[in-house]
Structure 1
Amino acid sequence: MNLDMHRRKRKADEAFDPPDYDYVYGIVSTGTDWYFILHSTEGIYSTSRTEYRISLTEDALEDPNESRKNVKRILEVIVGLLKDRRI
């Protein structure tokens, strides 16, 4: 195993070929709150705090349909992001 290649982090221009990527997606989660981020040359955009949330309280877990609906919404966003980045 060549450990020399792990000595330094790659710079953005080494990690991403600029002509191929005008924007990059990011996903940040606490497990209950989900944030979807778009970083482009024009700026950084993020979803709001309460838009994508999976409540794990006892009351919320009593109604599995509500939990499924929220999980489905989050997975739809993730699938959409993956489809968009598919080359």
Structure 2
Amino acid sequence: MVCLACLLPLFLVPIVNVLPLLFDFIMGKFYRVFGWEYRKPERAPPACPYKPSTNTISSKDEANAGTSPTEPVKPGSVDVKQD
């Protein structure tokens, strides 16, 4: 036998996932009443909580090093074609 408190998350997850769509629908109707245009905000794609992003810096030496300085390129020396 399963208690009702254990089954509650099974019903809450779909409801929570629908809330942003419901908000966009209601705001679209609200803006339409006043004659404005409602543009849905761009949402970030869902990220996996178990796999961290690969662009993190792992050591302090890499953080302090930053990008290496590059030498300026002379305009006449690039792509010089010699016959």
TM-score using structure 2 length: 0.27
**Which of the two has greater helix per residue?**
2
TM-score using structure 1 length: 0.27
Question: Could you say which structure has the larger radius of gyration?
Answer: 2
**Which of the two has greater strand per residue?**
1
